[in-house]
Amino acid sequence: MAKKLYIKTYGCQMNAYDSERMADVLAPLGYVSVEEPDGADLVILNTCHIREKAAEKVFSELGRLKRLKAGGRSMILAVGGCVAQAEGEDILKRAPQVDLVFGPQTYHRLPELVARAERERGIGVLDIDIAPEPKFDHLPETGVRGPAAFIAVQEGCDRFCTYCVVPYTRGGEYCRPPDEVLKETRHLAETGTCEITLLGQNVNAWKSGDWGLGRLIRAVAATPGVRRVRYTTSHPAHVDEELIRAHAEEEKLMPYLHLPVQSGSDRILKAMNRGHDADDYRLLAHRLKQARPDLALSSDFIVGFPGETEADFQATLDLIDEAGFVLAYSFKFSPRPGTGAALLSGQVPEEVKSERLARLQAKLISIQHRWYEEMVGQSMDVLFDRPGRHAGQLLGRSPFMQPVHVKAPAELMGSIASVRITKGHANSLAGILAAA
Ligand code: 5AD
Ligand code: SF4
């Protein structure tokens, strides 16, 4: 009999990818994914530890699930992901309703872990080893995905930005070999995927022998059936000539790039151990846009990093104007246990962080609105990858990752069509199919 699996995913796209892979690992045991935890046999919270609030959300969800568990069937409750890696044993202590805690590098062992959790109910199984052998060698073939899918090519990080937990929760950098990535690409393309996003915590640090990410992108793009390629998330210090050339020459590489800069102040960038200054970034943005003039750049920003003054913050606002971002995500600095920045003097008061975040976000929102409005009247290729909100509608992605709502026949699902944009909303576009 089919067993019901409910996975709730927090955090980044790598976590979203891991959740899909967990479902692949559990499918041979008869687990079928469901949309609600109610009545599920196995509930997995795939957690994120990047900022304080992320972990708090997990504990409040665990509170809700405790009531569900008390009221009903014999559900196994598991916590995976980055909070699991960082807090391990403490989760089992603080939330005794949890049966299993496992890390981002151990989910290939889920079948045996779940079996143990079932046998040893009430004890709490823990597996958060960062194994020397990569989990990728033990994962089954990727299941069928939609028209757009991720492939993890790189995981972990060796850069140690001083604010960041990733090197601790995900471990050191690991790159999958090109033949493995290309095999997964072929398999996805054969099963209906036409847009591939190469994924990594520091994806452009990917290398293998004399291959860099630029070469991998071209090889993925050359795979029959692949029509679009993207990569995320990248670091400015690892953008090399080969990658810039790929933006210039590889038409299937989409003209949207998330390239976080974090701050516009050289002093703060140094304290963050970013390995580049604001001018390096300006130059890089310029070179990328020369290579691909329609390239849309987005970024992440942290406000209130220890020692950040009003002048440092102003330098961030200035950089936003100069680099020409189309949108950006911004966060208040959150001291993470075990990271260097948590221990720095000059921690910025909460009210100052909130005030700067509000100013930054007001600016970013107006930039984003302007960008969405500029699209009106343009025609662009849209990949339809989901049903729309209303009957007779499909939802697709523009080359720049914008969601586009279009009245279109269901047969167009999974294909790319030319759409004329008729309206720009805050976070999406509306358009009509261009006459064939
Ligand atoms: N505090 C606030 N924001 C953070 N980020 C990473 N670590 C922290 C932290 N300690 C942000 C960065 C990163 C994004 C994924 O999260 O901007 O690019
Ligand atoms: Fe969150 Fe970072 Fe883990 Fe992704 S890798 S889930 S952003 S802590």
Q: Per residue in 304-345, pLDDT tens?
A: 999 999 999 999 999 999 999 999 999 999 999 999 999 999
Please state the rounded mean pLDDT for residues 400-425: 97
User: Which pLDDT band holds residue 192 (cuts at 50, 70, 90)?
Assistant: very high
User: Is the predicted pLDDT of residue 435 greater than 80, yes or no?
Assistant: no
| Residue-wise pLDDT tens digits, 30-53 | 999 999 999 899 999 999 999 988
Measure 50 CA to ligand 1 centroid, in angstroms.
6
Q: Which ligand is nearest to the CA of 18?
A: 2
Listed by start position, the domains of the chain span 3-127, 143-254, 258-374, 379-433
Calpha distance 54→56 (Å, rounded): 6
In ligand 2, which atom is closest to the CA atom of 54? Answer: 1
Q: Is pLDDT larger for residue 144 or for residue 304? A: 304
How is domain 379-433 classified at the CATH fold level? OB fold (Dihydrolipoamide Acetyltransferase, E2P) (2.40.50)
Ligand 2 touching residue 166 (CB < 6 A): yes
Helices (H), 266-386: 266-271, 278-291, 310-323, 350-374
Say whether pLDDT at 56 is over 90: no
Average pLDDT over residues 356-384: 97
Question: Looking at the domain 143-254, which fold is it?
Answer: Transcription Regulator spoIIAA (3.30.750)
**What local confidence, expressed as pLDDT, does residue 72 receive?**
58
Q: What is the DSSP string of 55-72?
A: HHHHHHHHHHHHHHHHHS
CATH of 258-374, one of 3.30.70.2860, 1.10.533.10, 3.30.750.200, 3.40.50.1010: 3.30.750.200
Q: Is the pLDDT of residue 70 over 80?
A: no
Q: Residue 384: which pLDDT band, with cuts at 50, 70 and 90?
A: very high
pLDDT tens by residue, 215-258: 999 999 999 999 999 999 999 999 999 999 999 999 999 999 99
Domains 143-254 and 258-374 share a fold: yes
Mutate to test the pocket of ligand 2, among 17, 130, 201, 336 (most ligand atoms within 8 A of CB): 201
**433, β-bridge pairs:** 419
pTM listed for this prediction: 0.95
The mean pLDDT of 279-283, rounded to a whole number, is: 98
Ligand 2 atom with minimal separation from the 82 CA: 3
Q: Closest by alpha carbon to 288, among 321, 236, 244?
A: 244
Position 436 scores a pLDDT of 60
Comparing C-alpha atoms, which of 205, 395, 374 is closest to residue 296?
374
Residue 49 beta carbon below 6 angstroms from any ligand 2 atom: yes
Point out the ligand 1 atom lying closest to the alpha carbon of residue 330.
17
CA 302 – ligand 1 centroid, Å: 6
How many Å lie between the centroid of ligand 1 and the Cα of residue 395? Answer: 30
pLDDT of residue 132: 63
Q: What is the mean pLDDT of the segment spanning 370-388?
A: 96
* CATH code matching the domain that covers 3-127, chosen among 3.40.50.12160, 1.20.1440.230, 3.40.50.300, 3.40.50.1820: 3.40.50.12160
Nearest residue CA, atom 5 of ligand 2? Answer: 166
334 sits in the region (left: phi over 0; alpha: psi -120 to 50; else beta) called: beta
For the CA of 165, the closest atom of ligand 1 is 7
CA dihedral 347, 351, 352, 356 (to 10 degrees): 130
Enclosing H/E stretch for 187 = helix 178-190
Nearest atom (ligand 2) to Cα of 201: 5
